[in-house]
Amino acid sequence: MSDELASPDMSLALDAPKNAPLVSEWLLGTSAVLAYHLGKTDTARMIADVSSVEVRIWNTEYTHEGYRVVLVVEPGLYTTYNERELESIAEVMRDVMWGSGKSVDELVARPSIPRLGPDWRSQIKTADGPKPSNQGRRQQLDPSHPVEDQLRFTNEWELDVYRVLRERQESLPDNETIGIMPLGGMRVRRWTFEPDLLITYRGYVGVIEIDGPHHKGHAGRDHSRSRLFLHSGVKVVDRLNVEEVKSRVEVEKFVDDFLAQLKR
Instruction: Give the residue from 111, 139, 162 where a domain finishes.
Output: 111
Same domain, 147 and 236: yes
pLDDT digits (tens, 9 = 90+) for 172-193: 998 889 999 998 888 887 777 8
Strand partners, 187: 192
The residue from 90, 111, 132 where one domain ends is 111
H/E element, 103: strand 102-111
Residue 174 belongs to some domain of the structure: yes
Residues 24 and 144 in one domain: no
Does 217 map to a domain? yes
Residues 129 and 107 in one domain: no
Domain total of the chain:
2
d(CA 72, CA 99): 26
User: Which range among 5-9, 60-64, 125-129, 135-139 shows the weakest confidence by mean pLDDT?
Assistant: 135-139
Domain extent for 245: 120-263
238 found inside a domain:
yes
SS3 content of the chain, % helix, strand, coil (to 5): 40, 25, 35
Residue 51 placed within a domain: yes
For residue 15, is it within any domain? Answer: no
pLDDT digits (tens, 9 = 90+) for 111-161: 988 777 777 777 666 554 443 333 444 444 455 678 888 888 888 899 999
Q: Are residues 166 and 217 in the same domain?
A: yes
Q: What CATH number has the domain bearing residue 24?
A: 3.30.300.20
